[in-house]
Amino acid sequence: MTELAKKRPEFRNINALTDLPTYRLPVAGIVSILHRISGFLMFLLMPLIIWMFDNSISSEISFAKFSAAFNVGLGFVPGWFMKLVALALIWAYLHHFIAGLRHLYMDVCHAVTKEFGKSSAIVTLSLSIGLSAVLGAKLFGLY
Amino acid sequence: MSVNYGSKRIVTGAGYGFRDWLAQRVTGSLMAIFTVVLLVEVIFTSGPIGYEQWAGIFAGQCMKFLTFAVIIALLYHVWVGMRDIWMDYIKPVGLRLVLHVFTLVWLVGCAGWAVQALWRL
């Protein structure tokens, strides 16, 4: 073991408040934790997703209610906030989808080198954030 | 503590995660295929998409068949994923059990609702 490797700090029993802010996560690690966070977010918002699915396919009237939720608002929730939540879901889905394809590719092609891990993580982040920006701009009527 | 990993692990006959690992990939692939099919349907719809066009995508028996399978796949996929999260971060056994039960109730309820919406169409 080299001197450099010996001096690396060890993290055992990580404290979320004191250790995580200074923990230098590699880009593949960022993709990994975002995969988890995006999955958790979609789990929590699942009733909203199904509410949207239900209303959008059930009838003309419920479809109008579905559209109005984003244009006018839903109950006390304003439309722009609904759009923001929808954008969060769009990002979560895109990230989870692309990071999932990365997993499948790695499994099928045995692509498990450090270099591939890094480059594919950068591709994943760029695609998910880029596509979210494009769809978000459309959602908020910028084009 | 006994070794429970590598070639020297003591095999006791319980699962070691392979089934969940595989299930996560099979269900994930199915949902990815569904996503592509839905995208193609939306992209190749001519004109603006209103209620008729959108509901029409799900109305065909083929799409209903696939959507139903995807709802079940989603149910299992999210169960495996959420169970991993609780197992990693929640150590007290009682709280973990409560969260597992909550997850199952949440997922089964959501899946039932989604199937009901799909069946009505």
What is the model's pTM?
0.88
Classified by CATH at the fold level, domain A28-139 comes out as 3 helical TM bundles of succinate and fumarate reductases (1.20.1300)
Quick one: pLDDT at residue B12?
Answer: 63
CA distance A56 to B116: 14
CA distance A143 to A134: 10
Q: Name which of B25, B54, B113 is nearest A57 (Cβ-Cβ).
A: B54
A127 pLDDT band, cuts 50/70/90, is very high
For an interface test with A, give the residue of B24, B51, B54, B115 to mutate (most A CBs within 10 A).
B51
The residue type at A143: Y
The alpha-carbon gap from B51 to the nearest alpha carbon of chain A, in Å, equals: 6
The residue type at A86: A
Q: Once rounded to an integer, what is the mean pLDDT over residues B86-101? A: 95
At residue A25, what are phi and psi to the nearest 5 degrees?
-85, 130
Which chain B residues are within 8 Å of A35, Cβ to Cβ? Answer: none
In order of start, what are the domains of chain B with their CATH numbers? 18-120 (1.20.1300.10)
Which chain A residues are within 8 Å of B29, Cβ to Cβ? Answer: 104
Measured from the Cβ of residue A50, the count of other Cβ atoms closer than 10 Å reads 20
CA distance A56 to A63: 4
A47 with B121: Cβ contact below 8 A: no
Q: Is the pLDDT of residue A64 over 90?
A: yes
To the nearest whole number, what is the mean pLDDT of chain B?
91
Contact A55, A63 (CB under 8 A): yes
A122 pLDDT band, cuts 50/70/90, is very high
B54 with A56: Cβ contact below 8 A: yes
Q: Is the pLDDT of residue A6 over 70?
A: no
The alpha-carbon gap from A72 to the nearest alpha carbon of chain B, in Å, equals: 18
Interface check B99 vs A, CB under 8 A: no
pLDDT in tens, B1-34: 566 667 776 666 666 788 899 999 999 999 999 9
Q: Is the pLDDT of residue A8 over 80?
A: no
Place of tokens 């396919």: A57
Query: Which residue from A minimizes the CA distance to B35?
Result: A97
Domain boundaries, chain A: 28-139
Contact A139, A86 (CB under 8 A): yes
Q: Name which of B54, B110, B121 is nearest A46 (Cβ-Cβ).
A: B110
pLDDT in tens, A32-42: 999 999 999 99
The alpha-carbon gap from A63 to the nearest alpha carbon of chain B, in Å, equals: 6
Query: Which residue from B minimizes the CA distance to A40?
Result: B82
Measured from the Cβ of residue A36, the count of other Cβ atoms closer than 10 Å reads 16
